[in-house]
Structure 1
Amino acid sequence: MAESLDIDLANSLNTLILDPLPPETRQRSLRLALGHQDSAIVPLDQITEIFNIEIAKILPVPELPPYVLGICNWRGEMLWVIDFYDFWGHESVQLDPASPILVVIVVQVNNHSIGVGVPHIGDVEFHDLQHLQPVLPGLFSPGLLPLIAGLLPENNGVVLNLKAIADCPVWKSVR
């Protein structure tokens, strides 16, 4: 009797063996709000750190574009912070007196760090970034195209390349 149970158990287990799962191709990404209705996705591997700061603690620097908020102290170093809403072409985060706190996303490129300021961040999501679609001409202004890695199908949003911010001409004048 025990032998027949062992054989039945072995046969049952053989039917439960599953094919191996395909390799995971999705990447962890952070959803950012861009204005009141738009959002974008940033792969987490582009982000060094995220922290909150009072906008009043960012020291403005004169004669720079309005999207450059100024500099702040980050880990004992000077960090340039940009207003990503203004940079993207939306209403500046500085115009909202109800929100004196800014979320700063630190991006490092070639040993230089830049802070990308947004009013808030969304959730971490998983996306298959291998299926990015190219950006169609006319959807975004030509100045923003270097920041856009592509579009995710099924309206999941724009995928940003925040490291491209380091190539903006404004940084050549302040370094």
Structure 2
Amino acid sequence: MKIENEFLIPFSGLKTGKHTFEFLIDNRFFENYDYSDFNRIKAEAVVLLNKKSTLLELNIEFKGIANVPCDVTGQDFDMPIEGSLDLIVKFGDSFNNDHDEIVIIPFTEHQIDISHYLYELIVLAIPQKRVHPGIENGTLESEALEYLGYYEETEEETEQEIEQENNEIDPRWEKLKKLLTDK
């Protein structure tokens, strides 16, 4: 069974107006795309379909958690991810998805497959650089951080270094200041 069949939205029997569809996304979904940039994922997608007489408006929103390795320490952590996409589906002679927000499907279609749009939306929501939140707020203790010298500097030492850098004046600027005062 292809998992994409779970992400088909049949619109031919629906009345004109708004309809809501919910989908659960996990690792099985990404196995079909051979994508493994995370350890685990669990997300919920809600699709609001507004059926009109000549077109369909889709609003796709998702929220979830992706378990990813930290790029600094290598430790796994749960990263919250979310995203949304507005899509307009028009009808034409042949399929065309050249535009990012407009899709043209044949008049003969009675359902739309949103699996590829969900895939792109989720993959783009996971940042290229992943840093454990414990590094940013200073609560993570790790051998990698100790090795990198993260714990050696205290806030006081860092503030003193910044103050020294601000007080040091480049000798070239001193000569320029002297020109101004010699007038």
Structure number with greater CO (CA < 8 Å, separation at least 6) is 1
Report the TM range for the smaller structure's normalisation: under 0.3
Structure-1-length-normalised TM-score: 0.25
Larger gyration radius, structure 1 or structure 2: 2
